[in-house]
Each structure stands twice: as structure tokens, then as C-alpha cells.
Structure 1
């Protein structure tokens, strides 16, 4: 199992979501950290990955032991432009 770390902005993004969506995202991240399974794609044009959880995306970076969530939010045109 990998350790999940939220950046300050990702934690703020998560706090601003409705409770049921927060729970879905937490379950999706935990599932990926434990099993390595999920709707994951490498980002084009920059480092990192995205995890799709319904209408929401988690932009993250990872190494052997850690998942660092950078952004959490709805899939919109600005989702992948945030750094």
C-alpha cells in the first residue's frame, strides 16, 4: 500500500466538495493506493497522472511508496492547465 499525501491546494479542493463526493474520491484514492487499480492515464505534455473518479479528476504524482495529490476537481477545460 502506498501512502497518500494531499498538497495544500488539493486538500483545499477536497474540503470544498460535497460530502458524498469527498467520500467517493477518498475511496478511489485508497483503492488505487492499495491495489494499483483505477482509471489512470499519464498526462501528456507534463509530468504526472490523472485518476478519474466519475466526473472528478485527481491529478497526482507518485513514486514507489507515495502518491502526492496535486489537484482535485471536476473535469473542466481548466483542470489540466493548473500547475
Structure 2
């Protein structure tokens, strides 16, 4: 099982998003922590930069896997139009 860590920006975004969306994001992260490579997670490897993208509704999370430490570091959570900026 992976441990999920958040950057300050990602944690702040999670607190500010609608409660029902935040709950869905946390549920997806719990599944992701069990198996980050599972196909039902709707995960895509990013092009032109390291990391992965997890989509939950209209919200996207950018994260990296740190294999040696078994950590998922969530870098950013934002609506699609803002997440890649």
C-alpha cells in the first residue's frame, strides 16, 4: 500500500473544493493507494513531464510515484482548465 502525501497547494485545493467532490477525490486516492496501476483508476501518464494524471469528474490531480519510499505525492488538484498551468 502506498502512502498519499499532498503539497501545500494540493491540500489547499482539496479543502476549498465542494464537499461532495472532495469526498470523491479522497475515495479515488484511497483506491489509488491500494494499486496505483489499476486500470479502473482512470490514470494517464503525463507527456513532456514526469508524473501521472487522475481524473475525478471535471477535476484532475497531478501526482508522482516515489517508488523507493512507496509514496504518492499529489502535486496539484484543480479543474481541467487550470491544472496544467
TM-score by length of 2: 0.87
Partner Cα distance (2:30, 2:61) in 1: 12
Write the mapping of 1:16-55 to structure 2, written as runs, cut at 5 A.
16-36=16-36, 37=38, 38-55=41-58
Offset at 1:3? 0.0
CA RMSD of aligned residues (A): 1.0
Segments of 5+ residues of structure 1 without an aligned counterpart are: none
Q: Residue 3 of structure 1 corresponds to which residue in structure 2?
A: 3
Which consecutive unaligned segments of at least 5 residues does structure 2 have?
none
The residue aligned with 1:67 is 72
Q: Deviations over 1:1-60 (max 9, x none)?
A: 100001000001111101101100000011111133211111111111101111111100
More helix by share: 2
Q: After the TM superposition, list the runs of 4 or more consecutive aligned residues in structure 1 that deviate by more than 4 angstroms.
A: none
Indicate the larger mover: 34-43 or 53-62. Answer: 34-43
User: Residues of 1 paired with 2:32 and 2:45: CA distance?
Assistant: 14
